[in-house]
Amino acid sequence: MVINDAIQLTVTITLFVLSYVFYQINVSLCCFIVLVAVFTTRNTPVSLACMAIERYIAICKPLRHPQICTVRRTYIVIGCMWFICVTPDITDLFVTLATESMSFFHSSVFCIRPNVFKDPILSIKRQAFDIIYFSCVFLVLVITYLRIMFAARALSTDKTSAQKARNTIVIHGAQMAMCMLSYISPSVEIMLHLIFPGRIPEIRYANYLIVYILPRFLSPMIYGVRDKKFREYLKRNPLSNRCMVKLQIVVPLNKDGT
C-alpha cells in the first residue's frame, strides 16, 4: 500500500503541476497519467480490505495463519488486487480508442478525466463500479471487525495482540471512510462549481488536498507511530537530546574550551 500510495501521489502531483504550468497537455499523455492515478486511487481501499482479512486470520485462526498467509500467496493477492482495479477502468481507454479519431489523441486538453473519456456511458459505468467496490470493502471491514471483536472477548490470553488487531481494523475503517471521499467528490465538486462559479481552480485544489493528499499523508504517520520500535525511538530521542543539553550545562568546560 505504501508503494501504491507513493505512485499515486507522484502521478497526481505531476498532473497537478502540469495542469497549472501548461494548462493543456497532449491527450495521449493525459490518458496515461489519468489511468495510473485512477488505478492507484482505487487500489487503496482494496488493499485495506486485504489487510483486514489478514488480521482476521491472524486472530481468529492463528494456527492456520502461517499456512494461509504465505509469501507466495501474498504476491498472488497483490496481483489479483491490481487486476481487479485495472480491468474496469482500462475499458475506458478501449472505448475511447474505438469512438474517437486519431486526431483527438494528438490534440491538447485540460487534463481531467471527463475531458479525455467523454462517453456518457463511461461515467455511469464508473459510478456503478465505485459503488460495488466501496460496498464490498465496507462489508469486509465491518465483518472482520465484528469477528475480531467477538474473538478478542473470548480470548483468555494474548489480549494485547487482540487489542492491536481491533485497533488496526478501526484505523482501516477510518482510512476507508476517507478513501470514500474520492467517490462523492465529483458530485460535491459540481455542486460547488454551481454555487461558486468563479472559484473553480480553488475548489479543484481544495478537493485534491482533502481527497487525495490527506488520506495518504495520515497513513504513514499513523502506522509509523503505532510501530513499537519506531515509537520507542521517538520517545528516547527527545529525552536523550535533553539529557545531552543538561550535561553540557552541568559539566564545566576545560581550559581549552572542550
Give the list of residues 6+ apart from residue 220 with CB closer than 8 angstroms, or none.
2
247 belongs to a structural domain: no
pLDDT in tens, 63-105: 888 888 888 988 999 999 889 888 888 888 888 888 888 888 8
Looking at the 3D structure of the chain, how many domains does it have?
Answer: 1
Whether the model clears a pTM of 0.85, i.e. scores above it, the answer is no
pLDDT in tens, 185-232: 666 777 777 887 777 777 777 877 777 777 777 666 666 666 677 767
- Decide if 131 contacts 42 (C-beta within 8 A): no
Residue 252 has pLDDT above 70, yes or no: no
256 belongs to a structural domain: no
19 belongs to a structural domain: yes
The pLDDT value recorded for residue 180 is: 67
255 belongs to a structural domain: no
CATH no. for residue 16?
Answer: 1.20.1070.10
Residues spanned by the domain of 43: 2-231
254 belongs to a structural domain: no
74 belongs to a structural domain: yes
39 belongs to a structural domain: yes
65 belongs to a structural domain: yes
Helix orientation angle between 27-60 and 120-154, rounded to the nearest 10 degrees: 20
Length of the chain: 258
The pLDDT value recorded for residue 76 is: 92
- Decide if 1 contacts 40 (C-beta within 8 A): no
